Amino acid sequence: MSTSRRDFLFHSGMGLGSIALSALLAQGQTRPAHHKAKAKNCIFLLMEGGPSHIDTFDPKPKLASLHMTKFQKERTKFEANMNTGERYYVKSPFEFRRAGKMGIEINSLFEQFSGVVDDVCFYRGLRAESVNHPTALYHLNTGNQFGGDPALGAWVSYGLGSVNQNLPSFVVLPDTAFPQGGAANWSNGYLPARFQGTPLRPQGAPILDMAPPRGATPERQRANLDFLNRLNRSHQARHPEHDELAARIESYELAFRMQAEMPGLVDLEREPVATREMYGIGGANKDADAYGRRCLLARRLVQSGVRFVQVIAMGWDSHDYIDKAHGARMRCIDRGIAGLLTDLKRTGLLDETLVVWAGEFGRSPDNGLRRFGEVWGRDHNASAMSVWLAGGGVKAGSVIGATDETGLSAVETVHPIKDFHVTLLHLLGLDDNKLRFLHAGREKQLSQTGGELIKELLA
C-alpha cells in the first residue's frame, strides 16, 4: 500500500529517522540574501499564553491611583471580554527596577536579565489582531490567524538555505507540551516539506534512536544500508511516481551520518559547569533548569549552523493569581535568557544572531477575576504588547514605542505584527516583497499583503 508523505512524516515520530528526514529535506546550498544581512540566524523565545507587558517590561504607575476603580470600555475585536460583571483597574503586584546605562524599567524579578538590558531593544508599540490563543499564535508564528501557512522559521530556511547539511535548518524546542494550535505553529505550510520545523523532545533524550543498537558496528551499519539502498532503488525504478521513497532512502544515509554529530551536539554535559550554571542549569528551580537547558541547546544549535531555533515557555495565561503565576514564569526564564545573551556575546555569536522575545498578545489593565477578592489577574489584550530583540542589527539599550498611561493601547511607533515580521526578515537579509512562493495561482509571502519596515528598531 502506498504511504503518503504526510503519513510517513506522522508515523516517523520524533526519533532520529524523522530528524534526519527533516534535515535531509532541508538540504541545499546556502542562498544569497536579498541585501546585506545584519544576522545569520535567529533564536525566537516564544512566551506562550500572552505575557503581561504591564507586569514585565512596560510598567504603569498610573494604575496604582486607579486601583479597584471601575473600568469601562466598549467591546472591540481587540478585547477578550472573557469575564462577566463589573471590572476594575488593578495595579501591578510587582516592583520594578531601573537597569542598564539608560535606566530602563523592568520587573525586579528579572534579577539576572537586568544585567544584560544594555544589549536589548525593548519595543512597546506592537499590536496583534486576535485575542484567541491559537489564532494569535498562528498569526505571530505564520502571519495567518487561521493556520496552514509557513512559519517564520520555514520562510527563513526557504530564503537562506541550509548551513549545515547534517542538521535541520529550523528546530523547535517545546516546553513539556506543545503550544495551543500544535505543530501548525512551525509548519512548512504550502512550502515544500523540507522547510518544516523539527521539534526535539522536551524531556529525556532530545532525539530517540540517536545511538546505534548494541553490537552494531559502523561497518555493519554501512553494509546493511548499502543492501537496503539497493532494494529501495530497485523498487524506486519500478515506481518512479513515489517521490517520497527517494527522501526515505536518503534519510537513512543522513541518519547514519548524524549518529556521529548529534550526540555531541545535544550533550550539554560537555559544557563547562560555569556555563551551565550561568543558564540556571543544576539549580533548585527545576523549571528554570529545564528552560535553561533549552536556551543552552539553542546556542549550541545556531553555533552548529541551524538557521532558526524557537524556544517555547508556556504558562503565561494569568487570568487570576498573576503575582504567583507570572512570578513563577519570570523566575523560570530569568537565568536562561540572561545566560543566553551573555553566552552569545562571550562567544562572539550575538552580532550574527538575532534573539527575539515575544508572546502572542499583551494583557489588559483591568481585572481578570474569576472570583471575588484580591485574586487579581489580567485579560487578553491585542491592542498593546511588549517584545524585545537583541543581537544582529537592533538598537541595543533602547526603548522604542509606548502605550497609554494604563497600558491599554499602543500609542507611539505603533505597528501590526506583519511589520514586525518584515523587520525580522530584513535583519536576516530577506525582503518580504521578494521572498515569495507561487501557491494556488498567486505569489504568497509571510506578511500576506506586504508590510512596513520598523526602522526605529534598527541600529
Tens of pLDDT, residue by residue over 326-349, are 999 999 999 999 999 999 999 999
Q: How many other β-carbons are positioned within 10 Å of the β-carbon of residue 95?
A: 9
Summarised one tens digit per residue, pLDDT across range 232-261 is 788 778 877 665 666 566 556 556 655 666
Is the pLDDT confidence value at 26 over 90?
A: no
Coil/strand/helix, residue 433: coil
Q: What is the pLDDT of residues 166-211, one digit of tens each?
A: 888 999 999 999 999 999 999 999 998 888 898 998 777 777 666 6
Q: For position 6, what pLDDT does the model report? A: 40
Q: Is residue 223 part of a domain?
A: no
Q: What is the model's pLDDT at position 340?
A: 98
Question: What SS3 class is residue 240?
Answer: coil
Closest CA to 353 of 342, 368, 364, 366: 342
In-domain check, residue 164: yes
* Cell 530556511 -> residue: 157
**Is 161 a residue whose pLDDT tops 50?**
yes
> In the prediction, which pLDDT does 116 show?
98
Is the pTM of the predicted complex or chain greater than 0.85? yes
Task: Look over the chain and give the mean of its residue pLDDT values, rounded to a whole number.
Answer: 87
70 lies in a domain? yes
Domain, as residue range, for 288: 37-205+277-457
Specify the pairing of strand 308-313 against strand 170-173.
parallel
* Cα–Cα distance, 198 to 19 (Å, whole number): 7
SS3 (DSSP) at 381 = strand
Q: How many CB atoms lie within 10 A of CB 396?
A: 18
Specify the pLDDT at position 251. 58
Predicted local confidence at residue 302, as pLDDT: 97
**Whole-number pLDDT of residue 13:** 45
Q: Minimum mean pLDDT among 254-268, 323-337, 424-438: which range? A: 254-268
Matching residue, cell 517521490: 243
Query: Cα-flanking dihedrals φ and ψ of residue 212, to 5°?
Result: -65, 155
The answer to whether the beta carbons of residues 43 and 309 sit under 8 Å apart is yes
What CATH number does the domain containing 353 carry? 3.40.720.10
Statement: residue 394 has pLDDT above 90: yes
Mean pLDDT calculated for residue range 338-362 = 98
- Greater model confidence, 71 or 15: 71
On whether residue 90 sits in a domain, the answer given is yes
pLDDT confidence bin for 216, thresholds 50/70/90: confident
pLDDT at position 261 is 67
* Nearby residues of 214 by Cβ (< 8 Å), 6 or more positions away: none
Q: Structural domain tally of the chain?
A: 1
Q: Is position 214 within any domain?
A: no
pLDDT, position 203:
75
pLDDT of residue 204: 73
What 3 state SS string does 278-303 have?
A: HCCCCCCCHHHHHHHHHHHHHHHHHH
Q: Is 264 a domain residue?
A: no
Whether 29 maps to a domain, the answer reads: no
For residue 185, the 8-state DSSP code is G
Q: Identify the weakest region by mean pLDDT among 120-129, 361-370, 378-387, 450-459.
A: 361-370
- Residue 182 and residue 174 in contact, taking contact as beta carbons nearer than 8 Å: no
Helix (H, G, I), strand (E, B) or coil at 363: strand
Q: Is residue 256 part of a domain?
A: no
